[in-house]
Chains A and B, each alone.
Chain A
């Protein structure tokens, strides 16, 4: 009898423990969670991404509340997170169970969805070893937000190091090996001569005859990285040239100035677009005197007579419940953003493959700004332009100071891409 009573007491105690665990216990009942609003109530949108990324990295549970208050984050109300939010000037709000229930009910009734964020992706940025973080918008954003990343370049890629990472970013690299055709304007500039010399030395060290051959092989490694399940995010000239390098399998698309042999005059016809991620049937620019790679870029910023003026682009409003991935990529507190130039600023619609998801476009223009798609087991996302807060960016311009652009809607798009691989995969509903 005593034994049975004792067993019953133990069972009740265990049950009480389970209930307490499920409800969070009395001490946590009023503020178990912390909401990081991402609408205009947020004082530092960019650092809010760093807060969330580091929370996931520390093993804490996080949720991305798509389309709720600008794409808010829900984090545990942990002292360390509060401390970091306070240090970085990030607005946070304590959320009680009752408030959370109300939030979830509101979300259930609208175009909103909660996406659990469970694993911080390991981030690699393809960048020369001597580049400053300020040379590229993504490293600027990562540094400012306090998100760790590893710089990899040709040597590491050729060594097979990409397998160590979940997410890879490319910026203004020219994967056709033609140095963005900067020889046209900068052939005597010391920085350009140094850039060429360094790349030639690396090619030689890694056993390639020319820089275009090396870059094409690097592009192939990147293609395989995505095919195996990696997340690729590229901006500026890396988008267009990566595609060209991947499609130009066995085709010489580099000018004589780059590899000593003229470009294949029939290269347009020989391109293998089935290998590329986003584009098809683009026409290559054959003139070495025209600072353009192909007709993929709609703006052609460096070609007089072709250059198109900047406008604004609008983010597409996806169904958060049915298309959570594109929804994550366009979470923002602004839906219309000012455009910004880059070596590749935009993507001509006529060169996009079927099935590419257009995330942002300029109304009435023949180009898009922001595109995404799947490839093999992985995904890729391209954002045209160089720096969202420096629309006319020119070589030699001072770096952008993000503490002056803490709520930059354009930089948010970049950071959406950093967090999206952390989302727990759900079976697609469409």
Chain B
């Protein structure tokens, strides 16, 4: 039905103007839902001057009235007059398919082959119908017959590809898709849809086929989409990266980068947009690439992607987009003085609301460089809003002023995991001063994760009332650095010394996961069982049971 609708819409717009006034009237009647009135006009036109528009109009009208079988007689006459018009044969096949008259469907196919013996169209159309009907074996026979009759299946690659995929013959399907995509890169989505269900074991072969030289845009795009579907976004970019760098490829890279940004895969976005901008430099693309670099943790790239020289001549536009980006990059690098100078230079052009944000960025720049006094100063100069913000609260925390930190962070609307960690710990530590804890968070803010983890462990000793939460922060830092060797003793300490603390369940689950990743199945099982039995009310129980099933091999990996 969808096929019918699509062909009709296309026909109406493009060809209707060449039709007779009577046929145009029939189309109008049909558009108004007056099928019974349109049908006699179409039928008369079919008798006197048949065209594809007329045949499709009559097909549509009969279909709407559930009278598709009435089309067969006039269609038969038209086919006798125009035996090599493929559109009429397609309608013939489709009508029998709609009527579920499969013997007659095969007869229509045989007639088409007789009418046009050197054409691949009858084989491709009939094979597609058979695939749609869930009869891949029959479609296979049709393709094999086409090969005998035509000498090759060059014109049937799309059908072959679909057929092989439907039969689970993934490698032959990928080969056929590769050939089909070479002729029509627009089939990439169809290839992805057909090959996405391929089991993991055959995916390397599919990759090999699509990556074969020479690199072709259709095949690489299809492979990239497949890799995304298979949960391998990095491999998706690898597939696209090998394309020849030209304007068309740059558009493919830009599309991929945009998608990666939306999905918050900033590293991939940085690579793809960076590659695109090197081939097709536009101001908008460069800005996107710079933003992606910043989000991906490569702030220094901002200065090369959107250098100051390119935008300083238009201060108003610069203040809207380029200045915040540069300030954020400088802040991330801890270059407070440069950031401060840049903000001062464009201060009068900054839109309302940006001042407070700039102040927070400047403060974070100074935090990053370890100068808390200047960080505080930066917030103060921005006014009361900035000075009572989360940033001010965090600076108080870094300085160990827990009372101020609590007061300032109490109303925080920041729902990030980082802020949750801060609030979770700050709310449990007693007293108004915690310099060791502040130093740990400061080290974390400065990007010195090794020092941060060490200081969290030290701070835990000073604050036994919140030791489990502080230790868990240390373990998370180690785990984020993929340092299981250092994380495991911390998790162990939480589980053994603070068994009744809420963090014990998370620590034990992470410990078990690390053991499983390291191949210690027995150890992982032991910890998961301990966790499930000792924390039956924990919200992590479903995760723990799932892990236990996986480690025992009770469910497919």
Contact = CB atoms under 8 A, between A and B. Distances in A.
Nearest to A400: B556
A307 to B, nearest CB: 8
A89 interface: yes
Interface string B330-374: 000000000000000000000000000000000000000000000
B532 A395 contact: no
B177 to A, nearest CB: 16
A403 interface: yes
B555 A397 contact: no
A192 to B, nearest CB: 9
Contacts of A391: none
A397 B197 contact: yes
Contacts, number: 68
B555 A291 contact: no
A257 interface: no
B549 interface: yes
Interface string B279-301: 00000000000000000000000
B533 A86 contact: yes
B167 A185 contact: yes
Contacts of B172: 188
Given A89-B545, A186-B169, A143 B553 contact: yes
Contact of A402 (B137, B198, B552, B555): B555
Interface in B505-557: 529, 532-533, 536, 541, 545-546, 548-549, 552-556
A344 to B, nearest CB: 18
B116 to A, nearest CB: 26
Prevailing SS type, chain B contact patch:
helix
A305 interface: yes
Nearest to A181: B137
B199 A396 contact: yes
A27 interface: no
Contacts of A304: 102, 133-135, 138
A417 B555 CA distance: 21
A403 B533 contact: no
Given A89-B545, A396-B197, A188 B533 contact: no
Contacts of A83: 533
A416 B196 CA distance: 36
Contact of A189 (B138, B168, B532, B549): B168
Interface in B473-526: none
Contact of A185 (B140, B552, B553, B556): B140
A87 B533 contact: yes
Interface string A365-404: 0000000000000000000000000000011111111110
A401 B556 contact: yes
A291 B548 CA distance: 41
Scoring B171, B546, B549, B553 by chain A CB atoms within 10 A of each residue's CB, the highest score goes to B549
Given A87-B548, A146-B554, A394 B137 contact: no
A87 B532 contact: yes
Contact of B167 (A88, A189, A401): A189
Contacts of B167: 185-186, 189
B554 A143 contact: yes
Nearest to A302: B137
B136 interface: yes
B536 A86 contact: yes
A146 B199 CA distance: 26
Interface in A174-199: 184-186, 188-191
A273 interface: no
Contact of A86 (B169, B532, B552): B532
Contacts of A397: 197
Contacts of B135: 304
Contact of A399 (B102, B138, B549, B556): B556
B170 A396 contact: yes
Interface in A137-196: 143-144, 146, 184-186, 188-191
Given A143-B553, A401-B556, A188 B138 contact: no
Nearest to B140: A185
A341 to B, nearest CB: 11
Interface string A185-228: 11011110000000000000000000000000000000000000
A219 B529 CA distance: 43
A395 B169 CA distance: 10
Interface string B144-178: 00000000000000000000000111111000000
B134 A190 contact: no
Interface string B101-114: 01000000000000
Of all A-B residue pairs in the complex, the 8 with the closest CB atoms, nearest first, are A399-B556, A304-B135, A396-B168, A185-B137, A184-B137, A395-B168, A134-B556, A189-B169
Given A185-B136, A395-B168, A396-B198, 7 more contacts: A132-B556, A143-B555, A144-B554, A144-B555, A189-B167, A396-B199, A403-B549
